[in-house]
């Protein structure tokens, strides 16, 4: 786990694992030959995506940011 300390705020990058999503759904109308160079696909045409949350600790509060979309 990597940790960053900024003043009284401590940010820790946690290991959330991996999830697999359909490459066509992720990139829409972008042709597969373009995105598959950077994101290799498996036999089900899925790409690997990391799901690492951030733990933010500030004096008397703790927050967790998951998947960059929700604040828990």
Per-domain residue ranges of the chain:
1-16+51-72, 18-49
**Integer CA distances (angstroms), 71 to 6, 40, 65, in order:** 20, 30, 5
Backbone angles phi and psi of 40, in degrees to 5: -65, 150
Q: What is the mean pLDDT of the chain?
A: 83
Name the pTM for this structure.
0.59
For residue 54, the model assigns a pLDDT of: 87
Is the pLDDT score of 72 beyond 50?
Answer: no
Instruction: Answer for the pair 35, 27: CB distance below 8 angstroms, yes or no.
Output: yes
Task: At 26, list the tokens.
Answer: 């992720």
Higher-scoring residue by pLDDT: 57, 72: 57
- Percent of the chain whose pLDDT exceeds 90: 28
Higher-scoring residue by pLDDT: 17, 60: 17
Task: At 46, list the tokens.
Answer: 């899925």
Residue 38's region, left for phi above 0, alpha for psi from -120 to 50, else beta, is alpha
pLDDT band at 3 (very low <50, low <70, confident <90, very high): very high
């Amino acid at each position: 786990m990597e940790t960053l300390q900024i003043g009284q705020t401590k940010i820790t990058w946690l290991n959330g694992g991996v999830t697999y999503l359909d490459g066509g759904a992720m990139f829409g109308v972008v042709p597969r030959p373009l995105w598959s160079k950077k994101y290799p696909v498996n036999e089900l045409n899925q790409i690997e995506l990391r799901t690492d949350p951030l733990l933010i600790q500030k004096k008397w509060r703790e927050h967790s940011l998951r998947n960059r979309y929700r604040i828990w």
